[in-house]
Amino acid sequence: MRKRPFRAGVLKRTLGKVLLALAVIWGGGILLLRFVPVPFSAVMAERQLGAWFSGDFGYVAHSDWVSMDNISPWMGLAVIAAEDQKFPEHWGFDVDAIEQALAHNERSERRVRGASTISQQTAKNLFLWDGRSWVRKGLEAGLTLGMEAVWSKRRILTVYLNIAEFGDGTFGVEAASQRYFHKPASRLTQSEAALLAAVLPNPIQYRAGAPDRYVRNRQAWIMRQMNQLGGEEFMTRHRLR
């Protein structure tokens, strides 16, 4: 009977130390990556290790870092139009979108609607893992607040575009542009940027290299949203290019 409190105390102290170590590592990472290119992300590492453990030694999680100056302004606008139209204004979370998603998910049993902002997706892709759990969402929220406090919106968008998954083994807009359009990301057109943004909800199921009807329809919708936001002027006005 005496050993149980002791074991519980040891477990509690160990968990506290682990959380403290993670906070230090992640906090240091946020500070460092404010200035230096991101060499790889947690999702990239997860994909690579998963391939190796399954025996696929030919898989390579590929990414080529580029600065925002070397990314077409259409690309940044496309992901904002598709994923997070309030990105320049919020502090990491879109409260209205969260409330709408909760209301939708209460009514619908088939399709679960998410409400993750670009900031949240960047935090998840960079530091965490795939999957749905309250633990991951809690960590994601803390990391998002840290990034929003230290990074500019332009920096968050730059990192997002460089680590987002655009296809099997293809991470980042430069690798995606080279793979699907055979040219650098700086030369992406509005239509091409919208096509890449159209596959982001599920880049394994939806393919930019062989877009189906759903992807084409989503591409057209994204282009309309880009025009309604104001085109390239939107990026200049919010200092995102």
Contact between 197 and 88 (Cβ < 8 Å): no
Residue that has been written with the tokens 């939806």 in this structure: 206
CB atoms within 10 A of CB 44: 21
Q: Splitting the chain (241 residues) into consecutive groups of 10 residues, what average pLDDT does each group show?
A: 60 70 78 92 93 90 93 98 96 86 62 77 92 84 95 98 95 97 98 98 93 97 98 94 85
Calpha distance 87→147 (Å, rounded): 13
pLDDT number for residue 44: 94
pLDDT number for residue 42: 93
Q: Which residues pair with 171 in a beta bridge?
A: 165
- Tokens read off for 78: 């496309």
DSSP 6-32: HHHHHHHHHHHHHHHHHHHHHHHHHHH
3-class DSSP state of 88: coil
